[in-house]
Structure 1
Amino acid sequence: MTTPEDQDNSPTLFEIIGGEARLRELVDRFYDLMDLEPRFADLRAMHPPSLDGSRDKLFWFLCGWSGGPNHFIERFGHPRLRARHLPFSIASKERDDWLRCMAQAMHELDMPQALQERLMTSFFQTADWMRNRHG
């Protein structure tokens, strides 16, 4: 007979990804690509001159979102992602650029294909929800 505790032993997405070290690697590669790849220049232009704060915020957010420590909430409260992104003009192109950059980062880090697909499905849903203009 299984108890509720037994059913809760499946690894979190945070653990499947590889914890904080692997998430930091992913976030850093994502922002490195934004700086390096000309095709992500428009996406890069939406960010401040230094990406340090953006790197930290995405890393902190993804830790909690994936089932790890709630670093973002501890610092800033509820993520309110859509509200925090309203000052930026986000249409399908910006959504797709963000997703392409993240997909390339995951691919370059040789993340397992099933994990990449799982993350991209979730990232797409969130990125699509962030759109605040047509186009």
Structure 2
Amino acid sequence: MSDVAETTTMYERLGGAVVIDRLVEAFYARMDRLPEAEGIRAMHADDLGHTKQVLKRYLSEWTGGPKLYSPEKGHPRLRQRHMGFSIGNAERDAWLLCMQGALEETVADAAARAAIYDAMAKLADWMRNTAGNPHDTVGHAARP
């Protein structure tokens, strides 16, 4: 046995590309059907095909898998990219509700599921750009 400790990425713990794909599909399926997600669903195009692909690439890279997002899009700058949308507590909570259900449906490893949810919750908090966010610049209007 080697003296070098093996490092397992969150990408591997989640289940790799297959699970990332299922996770994103389950996430957007919830966004389409949960009444609590109606507001955030309205922020998206009718056809979610492109949006799903972008999220799959982002999550792959963010969790330590293949770098599929940054070669195409550059640095994520997520908050900046979402400034055209009004994101407050309700939008954050709806997004997390969809993601929590998708994680429960697709990720078998309970510890990995909890760890990734905690990281996503912190990210979702950071994404708020309306009243209530300590990093707020308040007053951003929704994209027309």
% identical aligned pairs = 38
Q: C-alpha distance in 1, partners of 2:57/2:104?
A: 21
Per the normalisation by structure 1, the TM-score is 0.91
1:37 aligns with 2:34: yes
Q: C-alpha distance in 1, partners of 2:111/2:34?
A: 25
Count of aligned pairs between the two proteins: 131
Per the normalisation by structure 2, the TM-score is 0.85
What amino acid is aligned across from residue 95 of structure 2 in structure 1?
W
Displacement over 3 Å in runs of 4+: none
The 5-angstrom pairing of residues 20-59 of structure 1 reads: 20-59=17-56
SS in 2 for 1:105: helix
What amino acid is aligned across from residue 113 of structure 2 in structure 1?
Q
The 5-angstrom pairing of residues 1-135 of structure 1 reads: 2=3, 6-7=4-5, 9-109=6-106, 111-134=108-131
Tell whether the 8 Å contact from 2:60 to 2:67 is kept in structure 1 after alignment: yes
Root-mean-square deviation over aligned CA pairs: 1.5
Q: 5+ unaligned residues in a row in structure 1: which ranges?
A: none
Q: 5+ unaligned residues in a row in structure 2: which ranges?
A: 133-144
Q: C-alpha distance in 1, partners of 2:129/2:108?
A: 31
| Shift of residue 109, structure 1, vs aligned partner | 2.5
Report the counterpart of residue 138 of structure 2 in structure 1. Answer: none
Q: C-alpha distance in 1, partners of 2:109/2:7?
A: 18
| Shift of residue 110, structure 1, vs aligned partner | 5.2
What amino acid is aligned across from residue 126 of structure 2 in structure 1?
W
